[in-house]
Structure 1
Amino acid sequence: MSSKKLGTRKNKLLAIGGVLVALLVVGVAVGPWAYAKLVVGDQPDELALPASDATAKADPSAPQDALDGTWSVGGDSTAGYRVAEVLFGRDVTVVGRTSQVDGGAEVAAGVLDKTEVTVDLASVATDEARRDAQYRDRIMDTDTYPTATFTQTAPVDLPATSGRFTVTVPGQLSVRGVTRDVSVDLDVQAAADRIDVAGSIEVTFADYDIPEPGFAGISVDDHGTIEFLLQLDR
């Protein structure tokens, strides 16, 4: 083969090699972006009371017994988790949700008591089946610990008997076989026949013996948020 042909072949190989290197560089740069946009995608907003309720005012002049009675968590309730992931330096947020929420509370003479809410952890799902499998098996072991529960530990005076208000409720959170004291700030919209409640609890994984959630190039913060939006009916 002539030296000219060898030179041409060498140049072609160098060109092909340059293209492959360029593709590799683009893949490394775009991979995390593609994961964030195509695999994780846009995640749901934080659970909160409807914005239309923001103008609602607490009505302390309403009858003191306006909310008295036994309340049960209704079918439109939602709970789940929110955690931050890092994939090769790119931050993404992951949200898992379930409507499998049970529980209730009692109000007597404007005092909230006996609140208990249980979430079916095995039904919590994200938009990625492989992540959910890791969550149910290795991380949360939902076969052994199928639920998480919040239990109120002391009565609380409600600041109003109807309308929108906030109240802090002490309790215990039980997750993965571990129970710890917590305090929850609740955003409440109350009426005679329905109470809507939104709130969240910050959870440090090590406090509840939750294994390191990260795997296969994905690192996860050492904490996350349990969030909920509950509908309580008489």
Structure 2
Amino acid sequence: MTAELVEIPGYIAGTWIIDPLHTNVGFTIRHLMVSRVRGRFGTLEGTVVTGDDPLGSSVTATIDLASIDTGIAQRDEHVRSADFLDVEKYPTMTYRSTGVRPGGDGFVLDGELTLRGMTRQVPLDLEVGGFGPDPFREDDPFKGARAGFTATGEISRLEFGVGDTAKVPGGNGLGLSDKVQIILEIQASLQTA
């Protein structure tokens, strides 16, 4: 598939810097098999390169694991500990795309996630939110254009050595599900300098 066959209104090829103030890196995990816990990471940086052909695009991102926020400080401290993310030893997780392909109603972003020193393939369903002017940020060194993307996927926390396999008392499910849903809402500024 070429750019002529991929119709993205207002598409702009270029290098984009992820705007952490307008980006959300969220996750959801089942707890005790009866409810879901949601959280997010507040500190990140990254670059999106949109190619002349959208299928030639790429993404790199680094997330500060200490910036986890589930809304409960005590839980956040536990998740930062060696029991889970071990942020003292592994302060960041990174994502590096390896390809883009058509998929579903949008695209699939293939890539490698590195967490706790382990790298695994993690494909993300990708929706292009759009491209447009950025008329409100005269002080922005990257002013000129904004782009938005939504990416969703799933990882196995156990494949990355995060947490344990403790069972729900009296039940046969894990206290914390192995599968973690990932929800990314990305806004980026076109780099013009």
Flag structure 2 segments of 5+ consecutive residues without an equivalent. Answer: 1-5, 133-144
Inter-partner Cα distance in structure 2 for 1:99 and 1:132: 13
Conserved in 2, the CA contact under 8 Å of 1:173 and 1:181?
A: yes
* Secondary structure of 2:66's aligned partner: helix
2:150 match: 198
1:175 match: 115
CA apart distance, 1:214: 5.6
CA apart distance, 1:216: 9.8
Question: Which structure shows the bigger proportion of residues in helix conformation?
Answer: 1
Inter-partner Cα distance in structure 2 for 1:61 and 1:92: 38
Q: Does 2:69 correspond to 1:125?
A: yes
1:105 match: 48
Question: Which structure shows the bigger proportion of residues in strand conformation?
Answer: 2
Q: Does 2:106 correspond to 1:166?
A: yes
Q: Does 2:16 correspond to 1:71?
A: yes
Which structure's CA Rg is the greater one? 1
Inter-partner Cα distance in structure 1 for 2:17 and 2:80: 27
1:227 match: 183
Conserved in 1, the CA contact under 8 Å of 2:8 and 2:130?
A: no
* Secondary structure of 1:191's aligned partner: strand
Inter-partner Cα distance in structure 1 for 2:62 and 2:152: 14
* Secondary structure of 1:127's aligned partner: coil
Change (3 A) 1:213 1:122: farther
Inter-partner Cα distance in structure 1 for 2:42 and 2:175: 27
Q: Which residue, 125, 146, 150 being the options, matches 2:91?
A: 146
CA apart distance, 1:98: 2.4
CA apart distance, 1:215: 9.2
Flag structure 1 segments of 5+ consecutive residues without an equivalent. Answer: 1-58, 160-164
Q: How many residues of Structure 1 are paired with residues of Structure 2 in the alignment?
A: 165
Q: Does 2:160 correspond to 1:208?
A: yes
* Secondary structure of 1:222's aligned partner: strand
* Secondary structure of 1:203's aligned partner: strand
Hey, which bits of structure 1, 4+ residues long, moved more than 3 A? 156-159, 213-218
Letter of the 2:88 counterpart: D
Inter-partner Cα distance in structure 1 for 2:8 and 2:29: 41
Q: Which residue, 36, 40, 60 being the options, matches 1:116?
A: 60
CA apart distance, 1:211: 2.4
Conserved in 1, the CA contact under 8 Å of 2:152 and 2:183?
A: yes
So what's the TM-score if we normalise by structure 1? 0.63
Change (3 A) 1:226 1:148: farther
